[in-house]
Structure 1
Amino acid sequence: MIRVLLVDDHAVMRAGFRMILDAADGIEVVGEAADGAAAVAETRRLTPDVVCMDVQMPDMDGLEATRRIVADGDLHAAVVIVTTFDRDEYLFQALSAGASGFLLKNAGPEELVSAVRAAAVGDALLAPEVTRRVIERFTDAGAPASAARPATGASVIPVELTEREAEVLHLLAQALSNAEIAQRLFIGEATVKTHVSNVLQKIGARDRVAAVVYAHRAGLA
């Protein structure tokens, strides 16, 4: 059972999210909070697996609350930002704070459920509208030396990755989950998790979002 904490300063919004998530198999809403400070406190008290976090809230906003939750070594909750505001500064601050997902509130119920399930197993999920901006923003910063592309534009496997790890990275860049990667490569999901962990460590990526950016820089996407 995936335990979820809902954080939003609008009670009607929390009620809607609760209805959607409680109706999904294997998901249970265990608590609610109306601001960032309460979100941090309730995360410590309830130890949820996933926190669905609004951005603009009184007292402490969702970005600062996300930073505190992710930075707390005693907490293991993944944070999914769910906001009305499609602003680049919110998106990039959320990812820098360690959020595992970024959704807009106009997303469909199935997207919210998918984001919660992905975050619970260590995957990352970005709203389709913002994925391109993430890639452009980080690609503009320049590719790492170990991921330089040949002049022809063809992809090149970074020297530190095995061929299988490069395949996994390629599929990560397509926003596939571990289960979907396992199906594509005809290997076990546990094996995929091992490959993903090795890929993140070798390329120095903090999370799957950073790995996606790396893959685009390397021409593996």
Structure 2
Amino acid sequence: MTVGQERAWREHWPALGKTVSELEGTLDVDAWFGRKAPVVLEIGSGMGETTSELAKREPDVNYIAIEVYDAGLGQLMLRAEKLGVDNLRLLHGDAVVLLTEHIAPESLDVVRIFYPDPWPKKRHHKRRLIQPEFVRLVASRLRVGGTLHLATDWEDYAEQMREVCDGEPLLRNVYADEPGGWAPRPDWRPVTKFESRAEREGRVSRDLMYERR
């Protein structure tokens, strides 16, 4: 980690963060934020560029980001500090463990998974996050009417995401009538350096939006 990221961990983690492996029982989100509000969970916040901007724009939601990389969480805390964000909490660890053991069924309003690791080699596809069992787990934690929003710039992964989510009975593709079932790219999602690079390299980003039945 950089010096700044290490400082962010020292100064901000005690107030903003929790480690999944140290959680006990169901996470009391209302108590953690000190208020009751819609809950957004972002899985895989990376270096926090999108996460910090969205949390800033959505002050009326309780925004939770989970990430496995220390440096990414450190950078996210730096970005949040710079933007004056106070409705963001961070989790370090495995999203599957979090959802299985510490998030109550039908308690999340939105789950966002933007640009998960594509594992582009075919022999590694089984490592991809978006698989039927995982999507079933996510769907079970969404409130009825809640939203699962996915985005990727890898065409075959986008198609896999669509196939997996279309096969989950608890989910309905909000844009099923659009060409390919793809959601229009939302104007509110920031264009990151990562997405810009993908576009330069000829990869088209795809969004998918599903509603919990």
Which has a greater percent of strand? 2
Which has a greater percent of helix? 1
Q: Same fold (TM over 0.5)?
A: no
Question: What is the TM-score of this pair, normalised by structure 1?
Answer: 0.35
Question: What is the TM-score of this pair, normalised by structure 2?
Answer: 0.36
Relative contact order (C-alpha < 8 Å, sep 6+): which is higher?
2
